[in-house]
Structure 1
């Protein structure tokens, strides 16, 4: 019997396009398992002015 390998990855990112009224940006999580994605918004925010990360 052949053993099947599963692959997964976690990606945390900041949604600068969805700034909240107080100027903060939500932190999101993308989970990918064998090519299928699921995204969720975490219950944490960061100040939008401190987001210096560019893709």
Structure 2
């Protein structure tokens, strides 16, 4: 996880493939109050995800 300017966060995740890992990851980010602005997902062998997120403002 890398904090960037203007309240943006960049998250890089890489782990072994398992069913439901994408849904679980997105749910966890939403639970932290983060909104995914841009995301790249790769599922060749291992699961990899790179996402740019910003905090949801109420």
TM-score in terms of structure 1 length:
0.33
Of structures 1 and 2, the larger Rg is shown by: 1
TM-score in terms of structure 2 length:
0.32
- Indicate the structure with greater helix content: 2
